[in-house]
Amino acid sequence: MKKLEDKIIKKIYRMEAGKTIGQIISEVSLTILLILSSLFIFSVIVEILNEQASFDLFDFLRDDFEIIKENFLNNSLLFFQELPLPLIYILIGLSLLLVWLLYIVIINSNKIKNKLVSIYKFWLK
Amino acid sequence: MAELSDKDIIEKIKNGEIDYYSYIVKKYTTSIYRYIERKLFKKDEADDLVQNVFISFYKAIEKFDEKRPIKPYLFQIVQNELKMYYRSKKPTTSLYDVIYLEDDRLQDITDDDYLSHLNQVERNIFQYISKGYSYEEIEKLLKKPVNTIKSIVRRGRIKIKSAYADKK
């Protein structure tokens, strides 16, 4: 019976090790992929805005407070109209996905840590 | 360890401390093994089934309500595993095999008296069968799906058996 019990436990550990490592690899690679693609989209948006000279709309910020007060609303609206909206939507979507993924990783981190400790102890035993 | 109840152990396993699963394995293996062994009488297959039971339970542990007792749940898995085992051991007939009637007394259906109980389609199929055609060949000849032919044969068999029983 002892032999059978050991066999079952060994199988469970092997299965769990594969599952946990797979989960870690997929979560880390997905996080890296989301960060890289968000950065890429962000740099494209900045590039487009630079080419359009949209940032010049905020040059008035160097002026006096009265001028800033007068122009802030109009210039901000103009700036938002010049934003490449499809790319902005994609960036928002990617950021939300990234936040959701990080939330899941943080919630599961303790569980995964415990699993790794158990697996490590079992294979060292 | 003796202070820990099944509920605490399940909670710990759910929290990722999988080393506690060995306590469940040690606690229930003997009773499950004996139960399965009594049903199977084969040691090797009993070993495999016990392993499957514990692996299935481990996979389901996330959804398992720790307030419920473990033993009835484990025995429910045992029942399912046994069902699957018996099903896998059930003899099956290949689709391409030449068909023979199950009942030897009905092997030779040439007696018009029995065939008269069947309708035209059933009679045609039984005549093809008595000539040694396979389901696949009958399918091509009659342009009907194999499953339809199988159900017609089954219905025909029942009719002939009941006619045969009446006559007896």
B35 to chain A nearest CA, in Å?
Answer: 14
Q: What is the CATH number of domain B6-89?
A: 1.10.1740.10
B54 contacts on A by Cβ (under 8 Å)? 8, 12
Q: Which of A5, A16, A113 sits opposite B18 (nearest CB)?
A: A16
Query: Hey, where are the domains in chain A?
Result: 2-124
A16 contacts on B by Cβ (under 8 Å)? 18, 58
Q: List the alpha helices (DSSP H) in chain A.
A: 2-51, 65-82, 85-124
CB B33 within 8 A of CB A4: yes
- Kindly report the three-state secondary structure assignment for every residue of B56-93: HHHHHCCCCCCCCCHHHHHHHHHHHHHHHHHHHHCCCC
Average pLDDT over residues B32-46: 85
Q: Which of B18, B33, B50 sits opposite A115 (nearest CB)?
A: B18
Measured in degrees and rounded to the nearest 5, phi and psi for residue B98 equal -70, 140
What pLDDT is recorded for position B80?
93
Q: What is the pTM of this model?
A: 0.65
CATH for B104-167 (3.30.870, 1.10.287, 1.10.10, 1.20.120): 1.10.10
Q: Which of A4, A15, A121 sits opposite B33 (nearest CB)?
A: A4
Query: Where residue A54 falls among pLDDT bands split at 50, 70, 90?
Result: confident
What pLDDT is recorded for position B110?
52
Mapped onto helix, strand or coil, the DSSP state of residue B98 is strand
A33 to chain B nearest CA, in Å?
Answer: 27
Residue B12 reports pLDDT greater than 80: yes
- ipTM score above 0.90: no
Q: What is the pLDDT of residues A30-44, one digit of tens each?
A: 999 999 999 999 999
CB B99 within 8 A of CB B129: yes
Q: What residues 25-84 of chain B have any CB closer than 8 A to a CB of chain A?
A: 25-26, 29-30, 33, 47, 50-51, 54-55, 58
Query: Hey, where are the domains in chain B?
Result: 6-89, 104-167
Residues of chain A above pLDDT 70, percent: 99
CB B146 within 8 A of CB B135: yes
A121 contacts on B by Cβ (under 8 Å)? 19
Type of residue found at A15:
M
Q: Do A114 and B15 touch (CB under 8 A)?
A: yes
